Amino acid sequence: MQIKISSKHMEITPAIESYATKKAEKLSRFYDRIQQIDVVIDRAKNGYTTEIITDVERHEPFVATSDHDDLYACIDLGVDRAARQLKDHKDRVRDHQHAPMSAANKIPGTSGSSGKQT
């Protein structure tokens, strides 16, 4: 998994880069098929904007954006939103693959007994 940190209209200090990298690495806990994470930090007029683009296998990239006055809080909000998106996607994939069989989908003649008739 690759993590790229970039910025617009500002310089990234080593402290900001290490903080964003540390937070972005935690996203692999929520979905294990992440290929790349791009973190784009932008200095806005009234604070900061963070955009976290998570590229996963067999799906379009997930984009989580956040705005806040504090840069570290902005990164935290973006990571939380990206984590929620990944958890929701994982739940959809898991539920789709493991759909329970309803009574209408069962094979006729199988009642679940050992097969002996009394």
Total domains present in the chain: 1
Q: Assign 118 a pLDDT band (cuts: 50, 70, 90).
A: low
Q: In what side-by-side order are the strands of the sheet with 47-56?
A: 2-8, 34-44, 47-56, 62-68
118 domain-assigned? no
Q: What is the mean pLDDT of the chain?
A: 87
Is residue 21 in some structural domain?
A: yes
The CATH number that applies at residue 48 is 3.30.160.100
Instruction: Confirm whether 14 is domain-assigned.
Output: yes
Specify if 116 maps to a domain: no
d(CA 101, CA 36): 36
Reference 19, options 73, 91, 87; nearest CA is 73
Flag whether the pTM goes above 0.75.
yes
Q: Is 88 a domain residue?
A: yes
* Rounded average pLDDT over 74-99: 88
Residue 87 lies in a domain: yes
